[in-house]
């Protein structure tokens, strides 16, 4: 226990988040167990994205199985490796397509959560642009020996900006994207904060009419419900052009698309998802990764799920030989199975130690007691079908809080006596319990 060194800010986030049954934004590496094959598959995709490729992955699992945890862990790891990342949860107000701006709402959510290694908590849009301009200025000073006070300095920086922007112009909406980037540079160069803020508003998708955009920036288009994904492809290429390895989109709660009652609207969202899939798989997008989390029902239901849309079903369904290998994650779907009993035990050990570190006491629960807790959790009616890591963790955190806050309470009084005894009348060994234990 004395060797465990975790900052108080991190233990606070871990304890509070896990007690509430939500995924913490920081400190995940301290409680991550298992999922090695799944993570290795995704990291291979990140290498491809960094080299100019693209990827599309569906992370599937029932509620509480660890989808959001895995997405968050990959998000944090990607930032450390130099990717720009953005995440959003779908909801009735945020979809891929909608008649009331739900697609644009998803874009706005993604942009508000745009994050980098130096800005891991979102809101990195302006920081990304500032870093870009700063790096261009340093490049001019180093390569041309030109001082920022030189009258020709701004013109040289502008040349570099248009060199990057010109690559954008060949893409759909690239010309307008480049014009807005130039407008931001002009605001920076002239010290015109209003112009900079108008450019940022446009990039965040906050203009509501083309007339307003034309008046403020001289750009006759705006980011809207129909074209927001095209701009995400532009952001991916722009991110790579200015020094990041690419852009990764983490979109969770895909089940909200399954819940759309109107069949036409639901099919429109699946059609947009098909476009994203085709773009990433066929090389139409570069430096872009899309990771979508959802339940198995959202994917496999032939009446309302993704498999109800034949074009998606034929692309997502596992082939004859891929289906025979449960650990083969090279396809577009990564199904999350339950953690093994050994992995659950390691997780509980880590939670026990983190809780003790956070509250400043010596951990009192033994490993045998942790196994007893696991036995009791799985012996409940229906636990073999319904028990998930989220529920197990939340119950365990409740147990730790109760034991810590009520010194008169004991583990046995809360969890109960173990029913099984060995021939000698002693509790079975930990090894024996693990050999018998199934989750």
DSSP 3-state of 333: strand
DSSP 3-state of 5: coil
Query: Is 340 a residue whose pLDDT tops 80?
Result: no
| Predicted structure pTM score | 0.83
Predicted confidence band of residue 342 (pLDDT cuts 50, 70, 90): confident
So what's the pLDDT on residue 169? 67
Query: Is 438 a residue whose pLDDT tops 50?
Result: no
So what's the pLDDT on residue 425? 43
pLDDT digits (tens, 9 = 90+) for 226-245: 999 999 999 999 999 888 99
pLDDT digits (tens, 9 = 90+) for 137-191: 888 888 888 877 788 888 888 788 777 777 776 677 888 898 898 899 889 888 8
Mean pLDDT of the 14-28 span: 86
Give the neighbor-by-neighbor strand order of the sheet with 84-89.
Answer: 84-89, 247-252, 288-294, 54-60, 333-335
Query: Is 435 a residue whose pLDDT tops 70?
Result: no
So what's the pLDDT on residue 421? 47
Strands (E), 25-108: 54-60, 84-89
pLDDT digits (tens, 9 = 90+) for 212-229: 999 999 999 999 999 999
Per the model's pLDDT, the better-predicted residue between 25 and 386 turns out to be: 25
Which strand (E) or helix (H) includes residue 166?
helix 153-169
Q: What percent of the chain has pLDDT over 70?
A: 90
Per the model's pLDDT, the better-predicted residue between 417 and 280 turns out to be: 280
Among the residue ranges 103-107, 183-187, 418-422, the one predicted with the least confidence is 418-422
Query: Is 371 a residue whose pLDDT tops 80?
Result: yes
Domains and CATH numbers, the chain: 35-116+244-335 (3.40.50.300), 125-217 (no CATH), 341-436 (no CATH)
Mean pLDDT of the 308-331 span: 73
Orientation of helix 341-359 relative to helix 367-378, angle to 10°: 120
What is the C-alpha separation between 132 and 163, in angstroms, rounded?
13
Rg for the chain, CA atoms, rounded: 26
Predicted confidence band of residue 439 (pLDDT cuts 50, 70, 90): very low
Mean pLDDT of the 394-401 span: 90
Query: Is 381 a residue whose pLDDT tops 50?
Result: no
Query: Is 326 a residue whose pLDDT tops 60?
Result: no
Query: What single DSSP character describes residue 425?
Result: S
Mean pLDDT rounded to a whole number for the chain = 86
What is the C-alpha separation between 43 and 292, in angstroms, rounded?
16
Of 190, 226, 220, the C-alpha closest to 202 is 220
So what's the pLDDT on residue 182? 86
Mean pLDDT of the 56-77 span: 87
Contacts of 209 (CB under 8 A, 6+ apart): 222
What is the C-alpha separation between 126 and 197, in angstroms, rounded?
9
């Amino acid at each position: 226990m004395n060797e465990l060194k975790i900052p108080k800010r991190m233990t606070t986030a871990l304890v509070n988040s896990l007690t509430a049954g939500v995924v913490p934004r920081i400190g995940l590496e301290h409680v991550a167990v298992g999922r090695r094959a799944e993570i290795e598959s995704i990291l291979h995709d990140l290498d491809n994205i960094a080299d100019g490729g693209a990827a599309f992955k569906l992370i599937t699992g029932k509620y509480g199985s660890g989808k959001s945890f895995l997405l968050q862990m990959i998000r944090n790891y990607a930032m450390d490796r130099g990717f720009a990342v953005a995440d959003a949860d779908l909801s009735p107000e945020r979809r891929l397509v909608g008649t009331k701006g739900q697609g644009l709402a998803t874009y706005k959510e993604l942009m508000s959560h745009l994050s980098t290694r130096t800005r891991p908590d979102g809101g990195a849009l302006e920081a990304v642009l500032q870093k870009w301009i700063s790096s261009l200025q340093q490049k001019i000073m180093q390569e041309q020996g030109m001082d920022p006070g030189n009258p020709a300095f701004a013109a040289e920086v502008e040349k570099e900006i248009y060199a990057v922007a010109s690559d954008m112009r060949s893409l759909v909406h690239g010309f307008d994207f480049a014009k807005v980037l130039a407008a931001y540079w002009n605001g920076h160069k002239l010290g015109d904060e209003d112009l900079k803020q108008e450019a940022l508003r446009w990039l965040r998708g906050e203009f509501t009419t083309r007339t307003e955009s034309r008046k403020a920036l001289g750009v006759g288009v705006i980011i809207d419900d129909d074209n927001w994904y095209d701009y995400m492809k532009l952001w991916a290429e722009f991110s790579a052009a200015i020094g990041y390895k690419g852009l990764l989109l983490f979109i969770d709660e895909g089940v909200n698309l399954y819940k759309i009652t109107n069949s036409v609207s639901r099919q429109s969202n699946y059609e947009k998802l098909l476009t994203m899939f085709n773009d990433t798989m066929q090389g139409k997008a570069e430096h872009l990764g899309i990771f979508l989390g959802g339940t198995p029902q959202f994917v496999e239901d032939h009446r309302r799920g993704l498999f109800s849309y034949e074009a998606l079903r034929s692309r997502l369904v596992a082939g004859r030989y891929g289906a025979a290998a449960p650990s083969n994650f090279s396809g577009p779907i990564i199904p999350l199975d339950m953690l093994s009993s050994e992995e659950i035990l390691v997780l509980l050990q880590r939670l026990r130690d983190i809780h003790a570190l956070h509250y400043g006491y010596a951990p009192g629960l033994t490993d045998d007691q942790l196994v007893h807790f696991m036995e009791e959790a799985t012996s409940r009616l229906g636990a073999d079908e319904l028990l998930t890591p989220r529920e197990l963790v939340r119950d365990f955190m409740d147990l730790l809080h109760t034991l810590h806050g009520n010194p008169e309470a004991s583990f046995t009084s809360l969890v109960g006596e173990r029913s099984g005894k060995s021939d000698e009348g002693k509790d079975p060994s930990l090894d024996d319990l693990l050999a018998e234990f199934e989750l």
